[in-house]
Amino acid sequence: MYNTPIIRSIVTPLCKFSLKIAGWKLQGQPPSAAKYVLIAVPHTSNWDFPISLAMAFVYGFDMHWMGKDSLFKGWRGPIMRWMGGIPIIRSSSNNVVEQTIEKFNESEQLVIAVPPEGTRSKVDKWKTGFYYIALGAKIPIALAFLDYANKTGGFLSTFEPTGDAETDIAQIRTLYSGISGKYSSQCDI
């Protein structure tokens, strides 16, 4: 979707206008790397999706995203895939991490958004797939955010995984301190 010339030339200004009218401001810049895992925290609302897509258009990068397989059923499937969606079957262990690492290794340029919470509900512990994808593919993790309290979204920084998942993820979580999701009672960062 992002690389369709007519779509990009029409949708990018529309996204800029829509974000401005809604009061959203952008902060930071996406990584300059051709490949990275993008995490967006916190994830508490369905509104996170269209706002994130709009920001990807404004920032000018081609974002792919992982979503539960039920989003890809029926007529929605082709649309969701065109929008960058990658279906994930959450009920089975199907080597998603290994498959995603392989996809990164085969690609010259690829950005995949992975929600560390794995759901819009409150979780005590993040899923670690995003971390092991980045570590295995030897790519950075872009720390993206949507702060509904301040109507600001964008990028905090880029994180290079060291291999110490527990320490690295704890450090990443501290960088999100003070950022509020749409339903802040559902996030615990």
- CA proximity to 60, closest of 124, 15, 99, 119: 15
Instruction: Report yes or no: 20 and 55 within 8 Å, Cβ to Cβ.
Output: no
Structural domain contains residue 50: yes
The helix/strand count (H/E) of the chain reads as: 6, 7
Structural domain contains residue 73: yes
Structural domain contains residue 65: yes
Say if residue 111's pLDDT is above 50: yes
The H or E element spanning position 36 is strand 35-41
Which residues span the domain enclosing 23? Answer: 5-183
Structural domain contains residue 148: yes
Q: How far is CA 32 from the centre of its chain?
A: 16
Structural domain contains residue 123: yes
**How many CA atoms lie less than 13 Å away from 142 in the CB half-sphere?**
24
State pLDDT tens for residues 130-181. Answer: 999 999 999 999 999 999 889 999 999 999 999 999 999 999 989 988 876 6
The angle that helices 129-137 and 165-175 make with each other, rounded to 10 degrees, is 110
At residue 48, the pLDDT reads 83
Structural domain contains residue 188: no
- For the chain, how many structural domains are there in total? 1
Q: Which residue has the tokens 């401001």?
A: 25
Cis-peptide into 115, omega within 30 deg: no
**Would you say the pTM of this structure is higher than 0.95?**
no
Structural domain contains residue 140: yes
State pLDDT tens for residues 43-86. Answer: 667 788 889 889 999 998 888 988 778 889 999 999 988 888 88
Structural domain contains residue 189: no
